[in-house]
């Protein structure tokens, strides 16, 4: 009897999704037998699961995708908080996802995604479906795993962006701020900031004092250094905003006509120090392109381990890397939890000990 395995990619895309899909498929074919496996690709994430947009994959579909960015299955964002809400379209999303699972005669479903994806994976597992998660995000903020695939590639790209700002900042005697993705967690900005030689790093976990940021810039200027590089996580906020709830912060910024935290910081630096400040936003370039060698290896390992879980029929799990070892966590133990940068973690300490300011 053939084992039918569904695979979907949900949330934001990132390098390594296709490498993981390939790892799962090749390992399943090898361990279970190619003639005993049918892989069903669910298109456009949970949207495809809700609307039964699926296609049966062939072995050749998984060839040549190790180095390919994005996702061959497509992806859409389906916010978890709306999964149990029946909207104007009158669609019961949970009921439909279960119906697609059974209509497609799936033995299990693999979900590749971030925090929201894992919360929905747990919801489906609680509904009785056989689900296995695979941790994907450039933010590296999934609880219970040291690293997620996509993260290291994004660090490389963000580092390259910061690298390129040094010469132009020096040439024009400017303060250049590089805005890096990361609404809740600052792992990407922290790693790229250190690797790219940033002078100041601002992340959500460490609210900044704009006066201290300006003081750091002024100190460098007075020491004869004619430029500064600031790595800014898009979700960072100052010490005053730290006292407010998320909606209150958003409302205050909207009323002040502030588009992003980075633009506000640049304006404040220029006003308070008299030094010219400019903003650079790599944006979605951090998600694009081929995965790095590290992510290709990690994705392949994650995919192979997921195949082992399928073989052993261990469901309700998500793959992880802990202390250098590929393992798995129960979905119920990690879904809904975020891995934040701790203020006294070794990377932050290292950065501070080489003179990088966090504006705190």
- CB burial of 96-124 (b: ≥16 within 10 Å; e: otherwise) equals bbbebbeebebbbbbbbbbbbbbbbbbbb
Token pair 């133990």 is found at: 333
Give the number of other CB atoms < 10 A from CB of residue 277.
Answer: 21
- Dist. CA 350–CA 353, nearest whole Å: 5
Residue 244 per-residue DSSP state = S
Residues 6+ apart with CB under 8 A from 156: 292
- Dist. CA 251–CA 197, nearest whole Å: 34
Q: Which of 148, 8, 150 is nearest to 74 (CA)?
A: 8
Q: Active-site residues: which are they?
A: 139
Q: How far is CA 35 from the centre of its chain?
A: 35
Q: Please give the structure tokens belonging to residue 318.
A: 């998500």
């Amino acid at each position: 009897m053939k084992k039918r395995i569904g695979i979907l990619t949900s949330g934001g895309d990132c390098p390594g999704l296709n490498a993981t899909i390939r790892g799962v498929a090749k390992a399943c074919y090898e361990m279970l037998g190619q003639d005993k496996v049918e892989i069903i690709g669910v298109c456009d994430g949970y949207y495809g699961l809700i609307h039964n947009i699926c296609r049966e994959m062939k072995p050749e579909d998984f060839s040549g995708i190790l180095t390919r960015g994005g996702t061959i299955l497509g992806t859409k964002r389906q916010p978890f908080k709306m999964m149990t809400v029946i909207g104007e379209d009158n669609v019961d999303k949970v009921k439909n996802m279960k119906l697609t699972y059974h209509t497609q005669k799936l033995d299990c479903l693999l979900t590749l995604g971030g925090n929201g994806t894992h919360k929905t994976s747990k919801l489906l597992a609680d509904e009785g479906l056989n689900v296995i998660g695979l941790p994907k995000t450039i933010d590296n903020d999934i609880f219970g795993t040291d690293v997620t695939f996509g993260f290291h590639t994004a660090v490389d790209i963000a580092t390259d962006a910061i690298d390129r700002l040094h010469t132009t900042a020096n040439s024009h005697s400017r303060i250049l701020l590089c805005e890096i993705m990361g609404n809740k967690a600052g792992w990407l900005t922290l790693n790229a900031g250190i690797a790219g030689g940033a002078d100041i790093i601002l992340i959500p976990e460490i609210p900044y004092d704009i006066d201290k940021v300006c003081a750091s810039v002024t100190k460098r200027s007075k020491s004869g250094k004619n430029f500064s590089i600031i790595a800014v996580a898009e979700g960072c906020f100052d010490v005053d905003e730290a006292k407010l709830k998320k909606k209150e912060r958003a409302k205050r910024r909207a009323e002040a006509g502030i588009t992003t935290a980075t633009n506000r910081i640049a304006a404040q630096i220029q006003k308070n120090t008299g030094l010219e400040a400019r903003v650079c936003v790599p944006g979605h370039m951090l998600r694009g392109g081929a995965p790095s060698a590290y992510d290709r290896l990690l994705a392949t390992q994650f995919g192979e381990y997921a195949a082992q879980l399928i073989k052993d029929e261990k469901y309700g799990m998500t793959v992880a890397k802990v202390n250098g070892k590929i393992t798995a966590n129960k979905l119920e133990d990690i879904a809904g939890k975020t891995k934040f940068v701790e203020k006294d973690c070794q990377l932050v300490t290292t950065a501070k000990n080489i003179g990088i300011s966090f504006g705190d």
